[in-house]
Amino acid sequence: MTGVVQLSRRRFLALTGVSASGLLLGGVVPGDALAAVPAAGAEGLRLNLFVSLEEDGAVEIIAHRSEMGTGIRTSLPQVVADEMEADWARVKVVQAIGDAAYGSQNTDGSRSIRNFYATMREMGAAARHMLEAAAAERWGAAAAECRAEMHRVVHSDGRSLGFGELAAAAAQQALPAAGELTLKSRDQFRYIGRDVPMVDLHDITTGAATYGADVELPDMVYASIERTPHLGGRIASYDAAEARKVKGVLDVVELKAPDGPPGFNNVEGVAVLARNTWSAMKARQALVVKWAPNEHSSHDSERYLDALQARVQDGPGQVARERGDVDAALDAADKVIEASYRTPYLAHAPMETPVTVARVSGGRCELWACTQNPQATQAAVAAALGIDKSAVTVHVTLLGGGFGRKSKPDFSVEAARLAAHVGKPVQVNWTRTDDLRHDYFHSCSAMYLRGGMDDKGNVSAWLARQATPPIGSTFDPSVTFMDDGDLSQTFGSVPFATPNLRVESHEAPAHVRIGWLRSVYNIPFAFGVCSFVDELAHAAGRDPAEFWETMVGEDRHLDFAPEGFEFGNYGRSIEEYPYDTARFKNVLRTLAASIPWGEKLPEGQGWGLAVTRSFLAYVAVASKVEVVDGQLRVLEMHGVIDAGTVVNPDRVHAQLEGGMIFGLSVALSGEITFRDGAVQQSNYHDYQVARINQAPEVIRTHIVPSDALPAGVGEPGVPPTAPSIANAVFAATGQRVRELPLSKRFRV
């Protein structure tokens, strides 16, 4: 029975207001998830958001996060069903609309399981508790004599009742307080920790799934938008005469951008509204638009990176973290190694481009969007239309990839504004060129690292500087320095026992919209840090895996406060999620033991490895490469993850594999370039993602068993991949690559 249905606005109001169709259990917001709600109506049904039980025994579980291939629409309901003792075959997953009642719905930052695991367990346990209480009341027995078991409640004497038979009575039980709940022990788990197929799998593989572009409404029209090529661009003039002559065109609309920082607003453009997509696109090509120049219209990414690189090499920056006396230690070192690294801008480039259908009427707006963040969409659209958030309904479709791009609602704002203008439903579906040229780009970065070593090859000093345009600039252009939270992503949080250490930042004003992309700043910073550790290891004449362990030092939980560094820890407390160097080293040891590390290889082949902690998970990646006559091939990739408690191992393996392939794309060919303020790339031919022939023939992943709290899994596989490949290239050729992508040096 397991499948996915969309939650309509009518159904949402029923679930949060008055319903006579079933028992509603669950949480409103994390932290207050089991707050009692008053009985509604004569039936005495208790209403809440996450679980409903119909009298025929069917269980509906709300999925309040967005599904983009990760399996989260399976994994979170899987937790609820386990604690509830529901039969998974009788569960129906319902996709939530956007509403703050669910807590955060922003499906990025690898937070879904780690932020909602405990809440979803409570949802299921509350349902089980009420069903057992209802059965005890029916039998005149003690609640302790009744237990839920596989969609039934069983008495100690063998009697049993199905969940459906107990639905009405359970609805009249008091919602338990969190302290009254008894959660399962690990040995009682039925689904948690086991492979459960994605509920969307059949629809995805048969073409029945509904993505953003699949939504069609009566009388719907289509929009294609010519947007400013540079940040903050404004229309100087435009001529739409030829565009209006194209058959099927309904209107040409100047879509002004609001004043102020980019934020989640639409950029300025000229939109063509037509009866079909083809007419809209053809008419757009006939537009003649002139854009007013500004301080960003001359942005050249190569010159900009050169300037950042010179900045980090030329002198000290703002100190973010400091231990000991780095300058004195470098002066006294027997050997000093220094290197500069740089990484380019990147685009998200998900297979499905941004798309939204919007309908505006009667002071309300209804949207169907492939969004990672329906609540941000709701807020941004409400602000753009000048209406209250409660008047905006956001239906979440399946996403054909997201990687952080679709947590920004600018494309939905466009659709809503145009729908309000034309008085009809409007679909805005970006082309691939739109997607690449008007992204919230991943930051480029320049790094300078310097290490001092004694005569035994031990590192006595670590100096690291970086200049990277911060994401905060998208919301406030005056933000030009990274804060400690940004630097916590690998660069400032290195776990090294080195006695003298300093981390510095230089200013990097942004000239493009900067956003978060899968693993965010860990991408450039892991490339710099993990490559430099490898350089130090080879300079010391030591095995890189062994050298990593020496650098990290003894097992301990790191405390950054004495070094003046405010460790961000991905929004969680360091007490709850300590930075554990034992776990860090363990993934490295597990990786080295799982591959023929140290094997003698033919000329032109080499192994490289890297290890990072990101999104509270520990990941080590090893890559084996071959370089022949300038042609680089990645032969094997192996990954090990310690993500704490794992709900669905199949999905964790898939996410680690996917993260490594994503990292492979970044390493081989990921690069967005700007000239005269505009993006030069236009499609997958010049912004390449890894092709099948570029993927390694061998890719293996391993999950470290752990009872620790759940950590992120969607992003942590990305950061160590590129440095592992670059380090393997050095092992194979003796050529040290300090700039991505590798296609600048090799044929890939």
Rounded CA separation 141/38 (Å): 26
For residue 64, give its domain range: 4-206
- How high is the pLDDT of residue 13? 58
Model pLDDT, residue 352: 97
Q: Which residue type is seen at 729? A: V
d(CA 32, CA 27): 7
pLDDT of amino acid 4: 82
- Only one residue has tokens 């030829």, namely 242
Q: Is 568 found in the same domain as 505? A: yes
* Chain Cα centroid distance, residue 297: 30
The CA distance from 656 to 664, in Å, is 12
Which of 429, 464, 489 is a domain's end point?
Answer: 429
Is residue 303 a part of any domain in this protein?
Answer: no
CB atoms within 10 A of CB 17: 9
User: Are 202 and 233 contained in the same domain?
Assistant: no
Task: Verify that 216 and 200 share a domain, yes or no.
Answer: no
Q: What is the pLDDT of residues 589-598, one digit of tens each?
A: 999 999 999 9
C-alpha dist (Å) from residue 618 to 334, 356, 573, 641, 698? 33, 36, 17, 6, 22
| Whole-number Å distance between alpha carbons of 223 and 273 | 5
Q: What is the pLDDT of residues 364-391, one digit of tens each?
A: 999 999 999 999 999 999 999 999 999 9
- Can the peptide bond before residue 741 be classed as cis, meaning omega within 30 degrees of 0? yes
pLDDT at 606: 98
Looking at the structure, do residues 362 and 509 belong to the same domain, yes or no?
A: no
The alpha carbon of residue 691 and the mean position of all alpha carbons in its chain are separated, in whole angstroms, by 22
Please indicate, yes or no, if residue 75 is contained in any of the structural domains: yes
For residue 94, the model assigns a pLDDT of 92
pLDDT for the residue 63: 96
Paired sense of beta strands 392-396 and 59-63, if any: unpaired
Whether 123 contacts 130, CB under 8 Å: no
How far is 581 from 498, CA to CA, in rounded Å? 14
User: Does 258 lie in the same domain as 152?
Assistant: no
Indicate whether 529 and 632 sit together in one domain. yes
Are 668 and 737 found together in one domain? yes
309 part of a folded domain: no
In a domain, 488, yes or no: yes
Structure tokens at 235: 């229309």
Model confidence, pTM: 0.95
Q: Are both 574 and 530 inside the same structural domain?
A: yes
Q: Answer yes or no: is 189 within a domain.
A: yes
Integer Cα distance of 670 and 596 in angstroms: 29
CA distance 130 to 137: 10
User: CA angle 539-542-548, nearest 5°?
Assistant: 95
Domain boundary among 206, 224, 245: 206
> The domain that contains 224 carries what CATH number?
3.30.365.10
Are 396 and 523 members of one domain?
no
Domain shared by 288 and 184, yes or no: no
- For the chain, the domain total comes to 3
- Separation CA 30–CA 154 (nearest Å): 31
pLDDT in tens, 641-682: 999 999 999 999 999 999 999 999 999 999 999 999 999 999
In terms of domains, do 495 and 518 share one? Answer: yes
Whether 304 maps to a domain, the answer reads no
pLDDT of residue 19: 41
* Residue 177: predicted pLDDT: 84
Domain membership flag for residue 306: no
Final residue of a structural domain among 206, 228, 252: 206
301 within a domain of the structure (yes/no): no
**pLDDT at res. 722:** 98
Residues 411 and 517 in one domain: no
DSSP string across 431-475: -HHHHHHSS-BBPPEEEEEEEEE-TTS-EEEEEEEEE---GGGGT
pLDDT of residue 742: 98
Q: Tell me which residue has tokens 């470290």.
A: 704
* Residues in the chain with pLDDT values less than 50: 17-21, 26-31, 33-47
- Nearest-Å Rg of the Cα atoms of the chain is 27
